[in-house]
Structure 1
Amino acid sequence: METPVTPAANHPIPVHPGLPLLGNSLDFVRDPLGALRMYRRLYDQDDGRHIVRLSVGGRIQQLVFRPEDAKQVLQENHRNYGRSPAFQVLKLFLGEGLLTSDGDFWLRQRRLSQPAFHRRKLAILAETMIQEGYYWVEQLSAVAGSQPVNISQSLMDTTMRIVCKTLFGADAGQRLNQDLSYSLEMVNYLANKLLIIPVRFPLWVPTPDNLKFKKATRLVNQLIYGFINARRQTGARHDDLLDMLLYAEDADTGERMSDLQLRDECVTLFMAGHETTAVSMGWTLYLLSQHPEVLQKLHEEVDQVLGGNQPLTVDDLRALPYTGQVVQESMRLYPPAWIMSRLALQDDRIQGYTIPANTSVLVSPYLLHRDPVQWPDPDRFDPDRFAPGCDKERHPFAYIPFGAGPRLCIGNQFALMEMQILLALFARRFTISAPPVSPPGLQPLITLRPKQPIRLVIICR
């Protein structure tokens, strides 16, 4: 007769063996996603144990695997979990924006920023997205044909124009494009490096990485403060996010954001609204290149709703559900935020195990989105997973591309709307003749990027 498994409360959290000083950091340097899959294979057990303790970047981290545990950390007991030390690296660049701030300050900033993302406000911003979407497909039409197009770069340029106009009401001129692109690229690489290595030099030490980081921050500050100062001086009103943030008032005190607070929120929104959207759209088009049957179904929906030359409007988006499902399924397989970390402020219990105060809990959307219990045949690209009613048996925290709980990304509807618009306009005009010769590979930095630019052969329909 088999002895029943005892509750986890009597056992320490399993520890994955690592190297002296380095701990498990090398796993994340060599192949972060492969390491996550290995940890799940070894420690996500049917006997009720779904957790492992790691040492990454000199910090103790508990990795959980199940949506119910993610829910406890991100929602049910969220007050016990603050931004982990990993966010201190991003805070060097983003300051006290919504992504990195905590406590009462975060709550105040969230309340001040929330009205800017009201559905009525988003409908105004959508007009800019549509205009830039048309400009994008016209540019692609000029290079469509038998030669592969660098879709990754094309989308980076397009989302740069969209975020510049929706955030600042400005065109992405050459200097603006180059400086911001350089800065965001540099921060992505350097922040990821700082998160993994156990020994870090203070920012005042003039290492090559620190000097690059300071240059990137200086360029962004000059640009952002330039926009803020111009608005302060002229007092002119605009239908953009900066205007909405500039005039947002605290309901209790009537206070508005300082220039520093505006800077931090603008940089955060810019970083989230530019790169993550471009990367997610790139993965979406890559997946469509591999699945002509999905692309055909997408063409049929877009043709039925938009016809030949009918202009796309915001109201049309509700009549394009499959287009939205394609975006959602792409973000399931390639979530831009592939891992997130929270610091336990006090001891907590997960599955009966003690999570010690001042240690971190890792939640990986990449793993949650590929959990075979929640997603049968999880590596298969199938937008019908998101058809109406298909989520009835699925745990709500099995799909969290924008995070979850009170700290759900404030711009999630903005990003989904932008991607749906760009995808609909692309599908109406183009088809993809063949998949790439070789997969672009995965590069998990702060966001889940392709290792090589995605190049596709696109043909005008």
Structure 2
Amino acid sequence: MAIALPLLIIGAVVGSCYLLWIHLKLRKRFHGIPSPRSYPVIGHLPIVKPDVQGFIDQIIGLAYLYPDQPRMVTVWIGFMPMIMVYGPEALEPIFSNSAHLNKTVLYQMLVPWLGQGLLTSSAEKWRPRRKLLTPTFHYDILKNFVDVFNDQAQVLVHKLKAITANCRDEPIEISKHVTLCALDIICETSMGRSVNAQQDPDSEYLRAVKRIIEIIQRRQMNPIFWIDCLFNLFGDGKEHKWALDVLHSFTKKVIDERRKDNKTDGIAKAERLAFLDLLLAMEDRGEISLKDVQEEVDTFMFEGHDTTAAGIAWALHLIGNHEDVQEQIAEELAQILGQDEDISYEHLGRMKYLECVIKECLRLQPSVPMFGRVLGTDQDVGGFTIPKGTQVIVNPYLIHRDPRHWKNPEKFDPDRFLPENTKGRHAFAYVPFSAGSRNCIGQRFALMEEKTIIASIIREFKMTSIKRRDELGFKSELILRPIDGIHVTLTPRV
């Protein structure tokens, strides 16, 4: 025993020295890449702001510190290096190389909820799954969902009419109403089941969705809680488990009921096929398992709800700050829709100016302000060789403000997306839905939904935002959100 203890201490010291040596060697490989001053082992952790708004301010500040090429910066999270990319030239070799399809460690916090679905799965699982699921997002499938978009948009409009009738000229916090509308839409289109969130905003399912997103965001910000046992003991483990139980129980129940109905009545008899029906048909053919079905349904629920709602809310805020743009949208809608009550699939295709507006809104306020990849091989980026295994954070918020590709980037100008103005633009200068082969499978769905809801509101109301864009603070909770919501006044059109 007297000998064992000194040997143990010597072993620990030698091991620590070896790990430090490995770490210092790794730091040398990042020499020359722009980076604020950091320290071995602890990296930048002592200076990282713990609050979400402060953290976002720091991230944006890095672009002002290092505005020139290669528009990337190294951030050390303890031992682990991360490269944040905020220029399309630096992004191109990463998105163009199929070796870099795996997601970063931050996505692991989503796995307990989403499993190994399209968003979180490794490249090996993702490739065949993406190929299998791509046909479910074909236009012929998506156009059948326009009726759902219309129905839920009309529920939203009627709610807004009732609110304005009772509180004329009073500001409305519109993002919460849009979020409930988007949740009803994704439930009905992905599962064929409505949760009636617009009528019952205090449902347990909705509370679980909100809570788990808050928990995941906080966990991502604190590397100590990346370790499961510490998270469960000292973090939000108990509430996280409650939310997971609610979310998984709900989707499992719906899947079981839908599966039973399809076995009894046949999937072909359904008036409108939800994504779940298509997944269950694949399961019936042996292409995916029942566990795979639940993972993809949970993924659709997350990706198709919060991101789209945020995109719509930010768009309404920007449109409400630009009366000329709003009236041009209203004129386009009047020409296309006339006296038609419902918006059809064909109508959506003709809303060219509204599409430009939505794209410009997503440029300035991308729903997902950051996403990540892991380098699968050593990669030359901006004249530096970044080693295999490096975590890469892609920052669309800053990429969309690169002055080399966007003239007067802070100006709201939908005309940037007119066909004649997009010619020659760098392929990776605009990436609100990611880019390359692992881009967002649901971007067509999202654009159709955003058009329908925004058009439905503008047909009925003149809208004025209470705050300018520079007055409205924002934070990142997986999704880019306004800190105090989005307040507008609505005046019925006559």
Give your verdict on TM over 0.5: yes
Letter matched to residue 155 of structure 2: Y
Aligned to 1:431: 462
Deviations 1:289-328 (A, max 9, x none): 2111111111111112122454321111122111111111
State how far apart, in whole Å, the 1-side matches of 2:193 and 2:155 are. Answer: 16
Post-superposition shift, 1:62?
Answer: 1.1
Q: CA deviation at 1:49?
A: 3.8
Matching residue of 2:7: none
Answering whether residue 285 of structure 2 is matched by residue 259 of structure 1, we say: no
Give the number of the structure whose alpha-carbon radius of gyration is greater.
2
How far apart are the structure 2 equivalents of 1:419 and 1:442? 21
Q: Do the aligned partners of residues 58 and 284 (structure 1) sit closer, same or farther apart at CA in structure 2, a change above 3 Å counting?
A: farther
Is the 1:163–1:270 Cα contact (8 Å) retained in structure 2? yes
Once the two structures are TM-superposed, the CA of residue 79 in structure 1 deviates from its matched residue by 1.4
Partner of 1:4: none
For 2:338, the equivalent position in structure 1 comes to 307
Q: Is the 8 A contact 2:187 2:194 kept in 1?
A: yes
The equivalent position to 2:34 in structure 1, one of 14, 18, 30, is 14
User: Which one-letter code corresponds to 1:458 in the other structure?
Assistant: L
Which residue, out of 278, 281, 302, partners 2:312? 281
Tell me the percent identity. 29
Structure 1 stretch displaced more, 23-32 or 441-450: 23-32
CA distance in 1, matches of 2:55, 2:420: 34
What residue number does 1:248 align with?
A: 282
2:174–2:486 contact (8 Å) kept in structure 1: yes
Is 2:224 the counterpart of 1:192? no
Equivalent residue letter for 1:138: H
Alpha-carbon shift at residue 207 of structure 1 (Å): 3.2
Q: Distance in 2 between matches of 1:453 and 1:445?
A: 13
Q: Which residue identity lines up with residue 130 of structure 2 in the other structure?
A: R
Greater CA drift, 95-104 or 202-211: 202-211
Unaligned runs of 5+ in 2: 1-28
Q: Match of 2:23?
A: none
**Equivalent position amino acid for 1:355 in 2:** I
Match of 2:9 in 1: none
Q: Give ranges in structure 1 of 5+ residues lacking alignment.
A: 1-8
Q: How many residues align?
A: 447
Question: How far did residue 435 of structure 1 move?
Answer: 2.9
Which residue in 1 is equivalent to 2:302?
271
Aligned Cα root-mean-square deviation (Å): 2.3
Contact 2:99/2:377, CA 8 A, preserved across alignment: no
> What SS does the corresponding residue of 1:413 show, helix, strand or coil?
helix
The counterpart of 1:120, out of the listed 125, 140, 143, is 140
1:119 CA drift (Å) = 0.4
Q: 1:192 to 1:433 in 2, by over 3 A?
A: closer
Q: Is the partner of 1:205 in helix, strand or coil?
A: helix
2:155 pairs with 1:161? no
The match for 2:121 is 101
> Cα distance, 1:10 vs. partner?
11
C-alpha distance 155-233 of structure 1, shift in aligned 2 (>3 A): same
Q: Which of the numbers 215, 223, 228 marks the counterpart of 1:202?
A: 228
- Counterpart contact for 1:168–1:227, Cα < 8 Å: yes
Inter-partner Cα distance in structure 2 for 1:434 and 1:103? 43
Query: 1:223 is matched with which residue: 211, 232, 250?
Result: 250
**2-structure distance, mates of 1:10, 1:185:** 38
User: How many Å apart are 1:270 and its aligned residue?
Assistant: 0.5
Deviations 1:252-279 (A, max 9, x none): xx52322211111111110111111111
**What is the letter of the counterpart of residue 449 of structure 1?**
R
Change (3 A) 1:317 1:142: same
**1:396-435 counterparts in 2 under 5 A?**
396-433=427-464, 435=466
User: What is the CA distance between 1:115 and its match in structure 2?
Assistant: 1.4
Aligned to 2:207: 182
Aligned residue type for 2:62: Y
AA in 1 matched with 2:474: L
Where does residue 259 of structure 2 map in the other structure?
A: 232
In 2, Cα distance between equivalents of 1:24 and 1:378: 31
User: Cα–Cα, structure 1 residues 345 and 218, in superposed 2: closer, same or farther, change >3 Å?
Assistant: same
> For residues 154-198 of structure 1, what are the alpha-carbon distances to aligned partners after superposition, in whole Å with 9 as ceiling and x for unaligned?
101111111111111112146796233222222222222222223
Q: CA deviation at 1:17?
A: 1.5
Q: Distance in 2 between matches of 1:276 and 1:229?
A: 27
Give 2:136's aligned amino acid.
A
Report the AA paired with residue 274 of structure 1: H
Aligned equivalents of 1:276 and 1:242: distance in 2?
20
1:352, distance to aligned residue in structure 2 (A) = 2.2
Which whole-Å CA distance do the structure 2 matches of 1:340 and 1:180 have between them?
26
Structure 2 residue 486 is the aligned partner of structure 1 residue 459: no
Residue 108 (structure 2) aligns with: 88
Partner of 2:479: 447
* Deviation at residue 56 of structure 1 after TM alignment: 3.3
* Residue 384 (structure 1) aligned with residue 415 (structure 2): yes
Aligned residues of 1:25 and 1:55 also touching (Cα < 8 A): no
**Residue equivalent to 1:357:** 388
Q: Is the 8 A contact 2:150 2:342 kept in 1?
A: no
Aligned to 2:224, what secondary structure does the other structure show?
Answer: coil
The answer to whether the Cα contact below 8 Å between 1:160 and 1:177 also exists between their aligned partners in 2 is no
Q: Which moved more, 1:386-395 or 1:16-25?
A: 16-25
Separation of aligned partners in 2, 1:172 and 1:205: 30
Within 1, Cα distance between the matches of 2:259 and 2:70? 56
Q: CA deviation at 1:80?
A: 3.5
Q: Deviations over 1:211-238 (max 9, x none)?
A: 1111111101100100111122222424
